[in-house]
Amino acid sequence: MAKYFGTDGIRGEVGVSPITADFFLKLGWAVGSVLSEKGKSSVVIGKDTRVSGYLFESALEAGFLSAGVDVNLLGPMPTPAVAHLTKAYNASAGVVISASHNHFEDNGVKFFSSKGFKFNEECQHNIEEKFSEDMVSVGSQFIGKARRREQSVGRYIEFCKLSIDDYVDLSGLNIVIDCANGATYHIVEDVFSELGANITVINNDPDGFNINLNCGATDTDNLRDTVLQTGADMGIAFDGDGDRLIMIDSLGELVDGDETIFIIAKFWKQQGRLLKNTVVGTKMSNLGMRQALKSLEIKFIEADVGDRYVLEEMISSGATLGGEGSGHIICLDKCTTGDGIISALQVLEVISSTNKNLNQLKSEMQKFPQVMINIRTSEKLDLASHKELTKIRKHVEDDLGEDGRVLIRVSGTEPVVRVMVEGKDLALVQSSAEKLAATLR
């Protein structure tokens, strides 16, 4: 079992082990040592806008250099941009210093292979094995070199713009974009305005502390208010590292990842672009999306929760579209990880091609009410042997029938059990979730 790596890299509170400068120093050395076993190596390092990024960037850089690995510093850069630039610069690995949608008090790190995919479990295991060794620097003549890649932002902007067809015209669209005071703050204006859209950008003034603070994909109240006040056609929200997308339509209604995936999937099928006629989601994917895809004769594959598991199923099945309701959407024919900007552009291409607005497109799928209750626990629970829970769950599932479902799972990132119930009747869904939660408590 991994000691440091979780479902999405390493993450935690700054200053609390392992999110410390000395750990990141040795981490850089450990990763660099593993990479160097295959010969001379180089990495790219990007980060989001939280203040601790300065600290951990320097520590990782020193660790890599001491292992003889060359370092390309990208500065503030969305997670998917780092995945793309790892390939573009022919680097051995890509590194992102970020805690994604968390507030500034947290930070973490994610790694990408030379192909732009997140490190697999074998690679993570090899890195953790290195931690049992003493950190020893290479000789002075073999120390790595570092350089700043000043053209990286421009390269990623062009990559994003090329992700949709040339005929797409965004002129006449009024869009509000929320950057979450994160890593997309210096990118979105060029991407969307150069494609013709009239844009208003909010929360694009990071100060190291305001990342994800009352803004972005996890808090869309400010975006919704701005869309309604300005009469915009839609709002687009990214999270701190730019790999999530949540949208707001012109009526102020939220459009989540499941609805976005459906919009893209339907259009791609009509265009003959939905490879294997398949979409990959997770156990949390809304029942309404599953039924809507089924009505279009699109196959749905359920993966474990987490974008890495979605990607594994996509590669295994040959699918090119997948993601989560939280807004992680992977368009595998365009990028190797969730990319908020790329995903938003796919939706805008649908709007441009169909002359339908976002609310109309969203309404073609009827999302089922879903209630989630998190139960904090001090110890790992064996849900399968919880007899009372099994009995109550059977009653709940009988009440819901075929138009509802129950999912109870232990979180992989927090000490909580997540109880999720969904169905057509909100009152029944709410009461059912509360019954199950009360039984666990």
Give the chain's domains with CATH numbers: 10-150 (3.40.120.10), 156-251 (3.40.120.10), 257-362 (3.40.120.10), 370-440 (3.30.310.50)
In 3-state terms the chain splits into helix, strand, coil percentages (rounded to 5) of 40, 20, 40
Which one, of 433, 439, 435, lies nearest residue 381 by Cα?
439
Rounded Cα gap, residues 145 and 90, in angstroms: 16
Residue 318 CB-density burial (10 A; 0-12 exposed, 13-18 middle, 19+ buried): exposed
Tokens 């600290």 correspond to what residue?
A: 55
Rounded Cα gap, residues 327 and 338, in angstroms: 8
Scanning 235-296, the segments in alpha helix (DSSP H) are 257-271, 287-295
pTM of model > 0.95: no
Question: What is the DSSP code (8-state) at residue 245?
Answer: E
- Which residues are paired to 249 by β-bridges? 234
Residue 123 CB-density burial (10 A; 0-12 exposed, 13-18 middle, 19+ buried): middle
pLDDT score at 377:
78
* Paired tokens of 98: 């970020």
What one-character-per-residue DSSP string does 295-331 give? HTT-EEEEE-SSHHHHHHHHHHHT-SEEE-TTSBEEE
Tokens 């290195």 correspond to what residue?
A: 130
pLDDT score at 409:
84
Per-residue pLDDT of the chain (441 residues; tens, 9 = 90+): 688 998 789 999 999 999 999 999 999 999 999 999 999 999 999 999 999 999 999 999 999 999 999 999 999 999 999 999 999 999 999 999 999 999 999 999 999 999 999 999 999 999 999 998 999 999 999 999 999 999 999 999 999 999 999 889 899 999 999 999 999 999 999 999 999 999 999 999 999 999 999 999 999 999 999 999 999 999 999 999 999 999 999 999 999 999 999 999 999 999 999 999 999 999 999 999 999 999 999 999 999 988 889 999 999 999 999 999 999 999 999 999 999 999 999 999 999 999 999 999 999 999 999 899 998 876 666 777 788 888 989 989 899 988 899 988 887 666 788 899 999 999 999 999 999 998 887
Would you name the residues annotated as active-site residues?
100
Residue 299 CB-density burial (10 A; 0-12 exposed, 13-18 middle, 19+ buried): middle
- Contact residues for 4 (Cβ-Cβ < 8 A; gap 6+): 10, 18, 128, 131
Say if CB 421 and CB 436 are below 8 A apart: yes
Say if CB 288 and CB 368 are below 8 A apart: yes
Q: Return the biggest CA–CA distance within the chain.
A: 71
Rounded Cα gap, residues 422 and 424, in angstroms: 7
pLDDT score at 385:
75
pLDDT score at 412:
65
- Which residues are paired to 421 by β-bridges? 371, 406
Rounded Cα gap, residues 114 and 43, in angstroms: 9
pLDDT score at 82:
98
